[in-house]
Amino acid sequence: MIRWLIPCCCLSFLLAEAYAQAPAPNIDLKQQAVVTTSEGTFVLSFYPDKAPRHVQLFLSLAVEGAYDGTAIHRVIKWGIIQGGDPLSKDPTRKNLWGTGGMNKVASEVSDVKHVRGTLSSVMLPGKLDSGGNQFFICIVPQPALDGQYSAFGFVAEGIEVVDKISDTPTDANGIAINPPIIKKVTLRPAQPVPPPAFSQTPPEELTKYRAVLETSLGNITLEFFPDLAPGHVRNFLRLAQAGFYDGTAFHRIVPDFVMQGGLLSTRQPLLPDFRLNDLVRKLKAEFNNTKHVKGILSMARTDDPDSAETSFFICLGDATSLDHEYTAFGKVVEGMDVVEKFQKVQVDGETPKERIELKKVAIAQK
């Protein structure tokens, strides 16, 4: 893993020492970097108390525009992405990508762990003080790098964009075949890490949201009951916005009873565990007085009342035996004709004989 991060370069170690002792540029270290790439935007926060020289260098380079037009040139799928090399602006020098912009800053190894989202500095083999323009971001924890590399920041927003970049096809050497491009890096005053999506949206605002289930049988529009089950509504909207439901299947159909979907094990492709860990949580039951009648949206669970996670169901008929046992949190407001189509799906027991796809869940406001 460490060897993968080390570009081959022969620049002098003395340059790093000289740079480390140079006067500090006049730049505010309490800023964030908004990194706009060809695959989307993510935001970096920094640790100026742990690695001031690295933060200072990164921010200075951003102000100069040094990162604009560079490539995320090296990728390990669901592992690490690496970029920032000034040579990567030139496609004709692809054989040299990973060798540029080094020997600019002395080591600042600290107790910061290389966990998911950590931003760290690339260095030369055996030369701790050889960091420079190049950086890498951990997609998953990389404990072998702790105490070896200078971690100086983390992804504060847009980790899903970094995940997407990590899925870029590469050649046998881990070099991106069509590398994502850093279009621009801009700075803004540091802001707190935002809370999970919808977590602070008041119930009266949540009532304005609708979800359109784009299924292989047609579209179904849902509205929600945040006054009765705010936790479940926020959870559904958060998972939908993140695209977790896209590509799942309706895995259970019982005519005149329920149609059930949202089970992430039915998703194609499957989500990696690190993405599941970002958002999937067990929900505290929010049983209420809503009757489980045709068109009601409710949450599936195991025998534990507080075990609901992602799987939901829509009632295909009166299912009042579920009242006060399952959390109803919305209802169908458009597409009942599509719901009726589910009644006629051929099943083997309760499993559809042919896959019924939930292609996408689109979130919109009324």
Specify the pTM: 0.87
User: In this structure, are residues 103 and 130 in contact, taking their beta carbons and an 8 Å threshold?
Assistant: yes
86-94: long-range contacts, CB 8 A cutoff, minimum separation 24: 86/133, 88/179, 94/175
Instruction: Please check whether residue 351 lies inside any domain of the structure.
Output: yes
Nearest-5° Cα angle at 160, 71 to 90: 5
Q: CA 203 to CA 88: how far, in whole Å?
A: 48
What's residue 20's pLDDT?
42
Instruction: Please check whether residue 198 lies inside any domain of the structure.
Output: no
Reading across the β-sheet that carries 357-365, which strands appear in turn? 248-249, 357-365, 209-215, 218-224, 328-334, 296-299, 312-315, 258-261, 252-254
Last residue of a domain, one of 189, 211, 239: 189
What's residue 366's pLDDT?
84
Instruction: Please check whether residue 106 lies inside any domain of the structure.
Output: yes
93 and 168, same domain (yes or no): yes
- CB-neighbour burial class of residue 22 (10 A; exposed 0-12, middle 13-18, buried 19+): exposed
263 and 322, same domain (yes or no): yes
CATH number at residue 301: 2.40.100.10
98 and 28, same domain (yes or no): yes
Last residue of a domain, one of 154, 189, 224: 189
Nearest-5° Cα angle at 101, 100 to 107: 125
138 and 174, same domain (yes or no): yes
Residues 6+ apart with CB under 8 A from 285: 301, 305, 306, 308, 327
Question: What are the φ/ψ torsions at residue 140 (nearest 5 degrees)?
Answer: -130, 165
Instruction: Please check whether residue 184 lies inside any domain of the structure.
Output: yes
Instruction: Please check whether residue 197 lies inside any domain of the structure.
Output: no
94 and 50, same domain (yes or no): yes
Instruction: Please check whether residue 195 lies inside any domain of the structure.
Output: no
181 and 90, same domain (yes or no): yes
What's residue 7's pLDDT?
39
184 and 209, same domain (yes or no): no
165 and 207, same domain (yes or no): no
Q: CA 91 to CA 94: how far, in whole Å?
A: 5
Question: Could you list the residue range(s) of the whole structural domain that residue 334 is in?
Answer: 203-365
89 and 184, same domain (yes or no): yes
Is the torsion defined by CA of 168, 169, 175, 181 positive or negative?
negative
170 and 246, same domain (yes or no): no
Residue-level pLDDT, tens digit, the chain, 366 residues: 333 443 333 333 344 444 444 444 579 999 999 999 999 999 999 999 999 999 999 999 999 999 999 999 999 999 999 999 999 999 999 999 999 999 999 999 999 999 999 999 999 888 889 999 999 999 999 999 999 999 999 999 999 999 999 999 999 999 999 999 999 999 999 999 999 999 999 999 999 999 999 999 999 999 999 999 999 999 999 999 999 999 999 999 999 999 999 999 999 999 999 999 999 999 999 999 999 999 999 999 999 999 999 999 999 999 999 999 999 999 999 999 999 999 999 999 999 999 999 999 999 998
Task: Report the domain count for the chain.
Answer: 2
Instruction: Please check whether residue 196 lies inside any domain of the structure.
Output: no
**Pairing of β 218-224 and β 312-315:** unpaired
211 and 185, same domain (yes or no): no
Last residue of a domain, one of 149, 164, 189: 189
Instruction: Please check whether residue 78 lies inside any domain of the structure.
Output: yes
162 and 207, same domain (yes or no): no
